[in-house]
């Protein structure tokens, strides 16, 4: 019979490594710690930084128990996380356009974020820029109808550039505060997807006269590991990303990859999606995020 291996959360693993310090030599202990940090996708740079910090603190005899070790890791990661508060300027027209590969949660996040700004007395409009997939526009329109948010949509196969232009132009003409624009997550090839992202960016940047702010937002699925890093890389290369939304954070307790992403690309996080209801969206808070990242299995 195989013994069923108990799955430990990141916190439990960290604590068990810290507890084992008394029974191991220093090298063994630091190796175990490094493995735990790397397995949580925190990346080589930050893992080394944490280990150096721990070594220094051991030398100076500063760490009295596991809690103290844990706090050191927690506080160090807290300094790495970056947030951005997206606050459209009232009575001016801003545009936030959402990118991301298929299924990450773009459309759902737009619905939740639209609802959030609507509740905060912003006049919001949706633009269904996903004209590639048959149900693409329809999904956003359904949310728009439920939330009483006007949605500009056209038939499948229409040029998404036209939808984007119409949405932003209409928002400017009607003096609406915020246009939230959805985009396709899949095209025939990745190259086409990136070409489309750049094209939509150029339309908003060059052909429309926004007096508010323009932000390009990348949605990442919080269940993703290393792949999230390459998603950021390709989108950021095509169109410089201003902020991240991390979706599906209710379903997981592990998104350590965000640390190397921020280290490398310096892109802040705006929102966290925490469920499938309209209210399941939170303005990013590093402490809350870390508490969930470190969640203990029951
Ligand atoms: N639990 C949970 N599910 C979510 C969250 N955000 C999105 N989802 C679900 O993830 C799935 C994909 O979400 P969509 O919003 O359709 O993703 P998308 O990026 O627009 O997908 P494409 O249009 O196909 O590229 C849906 O079943 C959503 O209900 C979240 O924060 N928590
Ligand atoms: Mg979608």
User: 């693409």: which residue's tokens?
Assistant: 136
Q: Please tell me the predicted confidence (pLDDT) of residue 296.
A: 63
Return d(Cα 149, Cα 147) in angstroms, integer.
5
How far is the centre of ligand 1, averaged over its atoms, from the C-alpha of 54 (Å)?
39
Return d(Cα 187, Cα 196) in angstroms, integer.
9
State pLDDT tens for residues 96-155: 999 999 999 999 999 999 999 999 999 999 999 999 998 999 999 999 999 999 999 999
> Ligand 1: does its nearest atom lie under 6 Å from the Cβ of 115?
no
Radius of gyration of the chain (CA): 22
What are the residues whose beta carbons fall under 8 Å from the beta carbon of 276, sequence distance 6 or more?
Answer: 108
> Ligand 1: does its nearest atom lie under 6 Å from the Cβ of 273?
yes
| Of residues 252 and 208, more confidently modeled | 208
State pLDDT tens for residues 223-262: 998 999 999 999 999 999 999 999 999 876 678 999 999 9
How far is the centre of ligand 2, averaged over its atoms, from the C-alpha of 287 (Å)?
29
What are the residues whose beta carbons fall under 8 Å from the beta carbon of 119, sequence distance 6 or more?
Answer: none
How far is the centre of ligand 1, averaged over its atoms, from the C-alpha of 272 (Å)?
13
> Ligand 1: does its nearest atom lie under 6 Å from the Cβ of 43?
no
State pLDDT tens for residues 54-70: 999 998 888 889 999 99
Q: Which of 134, 276, 278, 279 to mutate to test the pocket of ligand 1 (most atoms within 8 A of CB)?
A: 276
Return d(Cα 160, Cα 95) in angstroms, integer.
15
Return d(Cα 23, Cα 57) in angstroms, integer.
19
| Of residues 42 and 253, more confidently modeled | 42
Return d(Cα 15, Cα 6) in angstroms, integer.
15
Helices and strands of the chain, counted as H and E runs: 11, 8
> Ligand 1: does its nearest atom lie under 6 Å from the Cβ of 251?
yes
Total Cβ atoms within 10 A of residue 279: 11
């Amino acid at each position: 019979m195989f013994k069923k291996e108990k799955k430990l959360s990141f916190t439990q693993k960290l604590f068990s490594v810290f507890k084992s310090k008394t029974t191991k030599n220093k090298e063994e202990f630091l190796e175990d710690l490094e493995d735990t940090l790397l397995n949580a996708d925190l990346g080589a740079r930050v893992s080394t930084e944490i280990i150096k910090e721990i070594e220094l603190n051991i030398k100076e005899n500063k760490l009295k128990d596991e809690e103290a070790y844990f706090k050191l890791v927690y506080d160090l990661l807290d300094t790495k996380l970056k947030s951005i508060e997206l606050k459209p300027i009232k009575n001016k027209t801003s545009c936030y356009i959402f990118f991301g590969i298929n299924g990450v949660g773009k459309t759902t996040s737009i619905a939740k974020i639209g609802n959030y700004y609507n509740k905060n007395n912003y006049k919001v409009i949706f633009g269904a820029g996903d004209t590639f997939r048959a149900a693409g526009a329809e999904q956003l329109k359904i949310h728009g109808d439920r939330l009483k948010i006007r949605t500009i949509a056209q038939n499948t196969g229409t040029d998404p550039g036209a939808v984007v232009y119409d949405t932003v132009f209409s928002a400017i003409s009607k003096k609406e505060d915020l246009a939230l624009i959805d985009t396709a997550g899949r095209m025939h090839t990745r190259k086409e997807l990136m070409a489309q992202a750049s094209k939509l960016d150029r339309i908003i940047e060059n052909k429309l006269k926004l007096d508010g702010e323009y932000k390009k937002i990348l949605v990442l699925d919080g269940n993703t590991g290393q792949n999230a890093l390459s998603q950021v890389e390709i989108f950021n290369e095509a169109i410089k990303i201003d902020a991240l939304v991390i979706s599906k954070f209710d379903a997981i307790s592990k998104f350590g990859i965000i640390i190397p992403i921020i280290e490398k690309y310096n892109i802040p996080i705006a929102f966290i999606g925490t469920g499938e209801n309209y209210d399941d969206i939170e303005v990013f808070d590093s402490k809350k995020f870390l508490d969930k990242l470190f969640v203990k299995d029951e």
